[in-house]
Amino acid sequence: MRFSIAVLPGDGIGKEIMEAGVSVLKAAEEIVSGFELDFAHFDAGAEHHKRTGTALPEATFEACRSSDAIYLGAIGLPDVREFPGGPEVSGQVMFKLRFDLDLFAGVRPIKLYKGIDSPLRDMENIDFVVLRENIEGLFASYGGGTLVSDEVATDTMVITRKGTEKIVDMGFQLALKRGGRLLDQKRVVTCTDKSNVFRSMAFFNKVFHDVADRYEGQVERDHVLIDAMTLLMVQQPQNYDIIVTENQFGDIISDLAAALVGGMGMAPSGDIGHNHAMFQPAHGSAPTIAGKGIANPLATILSGSMMLDWLSDQHSCPEAKKAGELIEQAVARTVKRGVKTVDIGGTSTTAEVAENIIAQMKAHAQLL
Ligand SMILES: NC(=O)c1ccc[n+]([C@@H]2O[C@H](COP(=O)([O-])OP(=O)(O)OC[C@H]3O[C@@H](n4cnc5c(N)ncnc54)[C@H](O)[C@@H]3O)[C@@H](O)[C@H]2O)c1
């Protein structure tokens, strides 16, 4: 089976981490027979905007739409904005892809690998997923909002039944695929919101329960207010399996969750819809370390592994799933051996980490 992958390296460390990510995927394709990946690279992002006046050329968007999956590095530079004092141009790429391709689910696995120190004392295992609604909530206001007389500004939270049902249902489906929360292996989807205050959030919560009813007896449901969640996620991360939430809350708590497992360099993600999907590290372009060859490529490489898993499910291609598992196992072995970039306590370069992962994949291919 042949898959076309649109590669958007983007800005800052984007090029370095994507080079690492693509090299690992190419190795996986060589080691595991039964599928092929056709990579096509495209320029998009803040640098591209500076050069051409556009962040995402229409032809690039069309190539993304027609590819089997999108693999993205990082988009945005803090000083490249739509107008002075306005938002960054990065939204023209990220939100166009998410909104127009209906990538409604931000899937953010949070997993602690052996060899990575969590800032949480004595914490050996962490393994849960933050599921962020990706195209509604407060981000539905992107490109809108009001500013009146330089005195008052507003943005509006948008919650729809259809959008909420889609993300919550994906949460329950994901729970069925996983082995449950670490605490007691129970499959649980936890809704986190601010339903004690806002009408929109109370509605999100109501729709959550409507969907949860369909999974009665298969997956349990739980509810935690978002402010309490920032506390409980840190105190008892093993209580969680899938945490489903509104867009802006998901944006914030997924970074907090990433901090528990080694930081942004350890945070992969998938922006997933029913027909399209994009895979990217959850971090940004880290401009202060760009070009130094020290960026952590693991979030990008693990996002590549997620991409193979999604392609496998989407196209009934078990070989792609195998290749994704091979990559994840090689990542685990590599960090356990101490081959790590400086952000997670090592001294290796971006390229050395990728080379080591490929060596581990070759050495353990027979175990598949
Ligand atoms: N999805 C995306 O492409 C995305 C996401 C977030 C931010 N951004 C953009 O990125 C730019 C910088 O944003 P920011 O500084 O808030 O967030 P950032 O994620 O780029 O950086 C936050 C911190 O984490 C570190 N970091 C991030 N990724 C790392 C990696 N792979 N290895 C080692 N350290 C890493 C950075 O050095 C920095 O200290 C902004 O223009 C922002 O809009 C893009």
Cα 87 from Cα 322, distance rounded (Å): 41
CA atoms within 13 A on the CB side of 62: 3
**Which residues' Cβ are closer than 6 Å to ligand 1?**
13, 17, 74-78, 88, 90, 94, 264-265, 280, 283-289, 295-296, 299, 343
pTM of the entire structure? 0.96
Show the 3-state SS of 74-90.
ECCCCCCECCCCCCECC
Cα 314 from Cα 21, distance rounded (Å): 21
Q: Looking at this protein, which amino acid is placed at residue 348?
A: S
Show the 3-state SS of 113-154.
CCCCCCCCCCCCCCEEEEEEECCCEHHHHCCCCEEECCCEEE
Atom of ligand 1 nearest to the CA of 88: 43
Q: Whose CA is nearest to atom 6 of ligand 1?
A: 284
Atom of ligand 1 nearest to the CA of 298: 31
Q: Whose CA is nearest to atom 39 of ligand 1?
A: 286
Atom of ligand 1 nearest to the CA of 297: 31
Give me the sign of the Cα torsion angle 363, 356, 345, 297: negative
Max Cα distance, the chain (Å): 67
Q: What is the CA(282)–ligand 1 centre distance, in A?
A: 8
Q: Whose CA is nearest to atom 10 of ligand 1?
A: 284
Q: What is the CA(79)–ligand 1 centre distance, in A?
A: 14
Q: What is the CA(53)–ligand 1 centre distance, in A?
A: 23
Q: What is the pLDDT of residue 368?
A: 67
CB 334 within 8 A of CB 353: yes
Q: What is the pLDDT of residue 116?
A: 95
Cα 242 from Cα 109, distance rounded (Å): 9
Q: What is the CA(78)–ligand 1 centre distance, in A?
A: 10
Atom of ligand 1 nearest to the CA of 78: 41
Three-class secondary structure of residue 243 per DSSP: strand
DSSP sequence for 143-195: T--EEETTTEEE---B--HHHHHHHHHHHHHHHHHS---TTT---EEEEEE-T
Cα 252 from Cα 175, distance rounded (Å): 22
Q: What is the CA(352)–ligand 1 centre distance, in A?
A: 21
Q: What is the pLDDT of residue 85?
A: 84
Q: What is the CA(30)–ligand 1 centre distance, in A?
A: 31
Q: What is the CA(288)–ligand 1 centre distance, in A?
A: 9
Residue in 86, 18, 96, 19 with CA at minimum distance from that of residue 57: 96
Q: Whose CA is nearest to atom 13 of ligand 1?
A: 284
Q: What is the CA(226)–ligand 1 centre distance, in A?
A: 24
- φ, ψ at 3 (rounded to 5°): -120, 135
Most informative mutation of 92, 139, 254, 283 for ligand 1 (most atoms within 8 A of CB): 283
Residues 6 or more apart whose CB falls under 8 angstroms from that of 49 comprise: 55, 80, 89, 92
Cα 286 from Cα 263, distance rounded (Å): 13
**What six digits make up the tokens of 100?**
């127009």
pLDDT tens digits, the chain, 368 residues: what are they? Answer: 999 999 999 999 999 999 999 999 999 999 999 999 999 999 999 999 999 999 999 999 999 999 999 999 999 999 999 998 888 999 999 999 999 999 999 999 999 999 999 999 888 899 999 999 999 999 999 888 999 999 999 999 999 999 999 999 999 999 999 999 999 999 999 999 999 999 999 999 999 999 999 999 999 999 999 999 999 999 999 999 999 999 999 999 999 999 999 999 999 999 999 999 999 999 999 999 999 999 999 999 999 999 999 999 999 999 999 999 999 999 999 999 999 999 999 999 999 999 999 999 999 887 66
Three-class secondary structure of residue 205 per DSSP: helix
Q: What is the CA(309)–ligand 1 centre distance, in A?
A: 25
Residue in 238, 193, 242, 246 with CA at minimum distance from that of residue 218: 242
Q: What is the CA(307)–ligand 1 centre distance, in A?
A: 21
Residue 328 CB burial class (10 angstroms; 0-12, 13-18, ≥19): buried
Q: Whose CA is nearest to atom 21 of ligand 1?
A: 286
For the chain, the distance separating the N- and C-terminal CA atoms, rounded to the nearest angstrom, is: 19
Length of the chain: 368
Atom of ligand 1 nearest to the CA of 80: 41
